Structure 1
Amino acid sequence: MPGSLARTTAPVAKMMRLWNYKQGSGLGARGQGIIAPIKPIRHCSTAGIGHSETTYKNGLHGAPAPSPPPQDEWHESAAVSRALGLERECYEKTLALLRDVKLQGDDSVETAEALAAIVKSEEVLRGKKRAPGAWRAALPTPAVQHIVERVLTPRIAVKAREWEPLWSPGCDHWLRPWIPLIGHLPESLYGTVESKISGGCYDVISPWKDYLGPTHWEIFSRRHILPKLTRWLQQLKITPPKQRDTKFCEVMSWTPLVRTEDVVSILEQEFFGKWESALRHWLQSARPSSGEATAWCAGWKNVFTAELLHDERVLARLEAGVATVDREAEDLSRLVCHA
């Protein structure tokens, strides 16, 4: 019976009774002590005395913290508001530019008709339930063509040649205001812009995903972004348990600019084999605890973007890493338990 005095010596039992001990209760002023003996627990792992499964930091400081799901309606409303504001700015700048062209002596019929069309288009801008794109759609095609080809493109070309990304990374003043009207950078200027931004940092290159046409952006990303990501992954050194090389976090920061399937292909070619090899070597040489190794894998998973984690190939490779940890733990457990 737990808490019984029957299994102790007579002097000890006598002393316990003098101290008002009651059989079946615990020690302490209020009998709060344990009455059942502590049972030994056999551990078949490499964890030492005092080990506890705590949150593990694997050195991936660039890992983004989990963010709450975006409020789609709010984001959509904000995007619409920005688009409408940009249309208003484009209208005002186009109107001022055409009037200036007229003052400089351009008496052509095309310019006069384009100016009249822009003036009339203000009625669309005053609409209460205007959708983005409605303003440009209301403009006559000949007027838009004349403005873009004869008025805007020559001026944008001059600004593009003068533009120095190193000193002024953005193109808010010479290109962005005209996007609602021209749609994207005129095709004839692609070579000029490509030569200026190809070696640029993220802040220089990222806006051009919206400013270049889809075809030219695809060409640009394959020429300049994907090779950069490939090179970084080739140079990446994976060093469990602490990751000191931050190139992988840099790769993840660039992935929104390129297609997910292209990034997955690069990861399969340049990353996952290296990652799995480093994991196996660590498990076999350092013998980390199962909890530590699993947390290391989870730390890597947290660095991947949400788009990549929705790809079945990426998830399969990450889960394969966890499965490797489980197999190594089972093998080691059998060896220890049979020793």
Structure 2
Amino acid sequence: LPYLSDQLQELYPAVRQKLSKALRTWKPSETMDALPMLKAWKPVFGTKAWDKFTSAVVMPKLEGALAGLEIDPKNKPDTSRLVRVIGWSDIVSHRMMCAMLRELFFPKLLQSLFTWLTGNPEFDEVVEWYEGWKGLFP
């Protein structure tokens, strides 16, 4: 696709529309199926158009997946949602990914950690729990 990008330029709006339609039912909290489909188009569209597309179509889905993430030290963490979201870091801009994590993930993590630490925790457990979450990031 990158080799034909100039010849296909006039088709890009239609392609983006079809991709948007295909992603309507996609749930990033459940599957990574859409990733390979979109990965092929990233180098073709150009940074500005790609960021606009992912901001409108992909990011709301990833934000929804993170919004449903529960972080509770009392329960074994289900990290699959976060792993799937982070898996998109090659597709969405680092700026958008960082902003989303800063807004939707880290406040939950820090609040859970704060609540746990204000009790009388076993600090070895706290370190293990924290290191587990930290280890999910590249």
TM norm structure 2: 0.78
* Aligned counterparts of 2:17 and 2:86: Cα–Cα separation in 1: 25
Q: 1:252, 1:304 within 8 Å by CA — same for their partners in 2? A: yes
Residue 108 of structure 2 is aligned with which of 274, 295, 308?
A: 274
Higher relative contact order (CA 8 A, sep 6+): 2
Counterpart AA for 1:264: C
In percent, how many aligned pairs have the same letter?
Answer: 28
2:15 pairs with 1:193:
yes
2:58 pairs with 1:225:
yes
* Aligned counterparts of 1:228 and 1:278: Cα–Cα separation in 2: 24
* Aligned counterparts of 1:255 and 1:265: Cα–Cα separation in 2: 12
Task: Write out per-residue CA displacement over residues 24-76 of structure 1, whole angstroms, 9 at most, x where no aligned residue.
Answer: xxxxxxxxxxxxxxxxxxxxxxxxxxxxxxxxxxxxxxxxxxxxxxxxxxxxx
Counterpart AA for 1:187: Q
Q: 1:184, 1:213 within 8 Å by CA — same for their partners in 2? A: no
**CA-based RMSD:** 2.0
- Look up the SS of the partner of 1:249 in the other structure: helix
Q: Which runs of 5+ in 1 are unaligned?
A: 1-175, 306-339
2:123 pairs with 1:296:
no
Q: How many residues align?
A: 126
* Aligned counterparts of 2:131 and 2:89: Cα–Cα separation in 1: 20
Counterpart AA for 1:267: L
* Aligned counterparts of 2:6 and 2:90: Cα–Cα separation in 1: 19
2:78 pairs with 1:244:
yes
Q: 2:63, 2:104 within 8 Å by CA — same for their partners in 1? A: yes
* Aligned counterparts of 1:294 and 1:284: Cα–Cα separation in 2: 15
Counterpart AA for 2:77: Q
Q: 2:69, 2:81 within 8 Å by CA — same for their partners in 1? A: yes
* Aligned counterparts of 1:229 and 1:185: Cα–Cα separation in 2: 32
TM norm structure 1: 0.34
Per-residue deviation, 1:211? 2.3
Residues 285-324 of structure 1 aligned to structure 2 (within 5 Å)? 285=119, 287-305=120-138
Q: Which runs of 5+ in 2 are unaligned?
A: 27-33
Q: Which of these two proteins has the greater Rg computed from alpha carbons?
A: 1
Structure 1 runs (4+) greater than 6 angstroms displaced: none
Q: 2:51, 2:93 within 8 Å by CA — same for their partners in 1? A: no
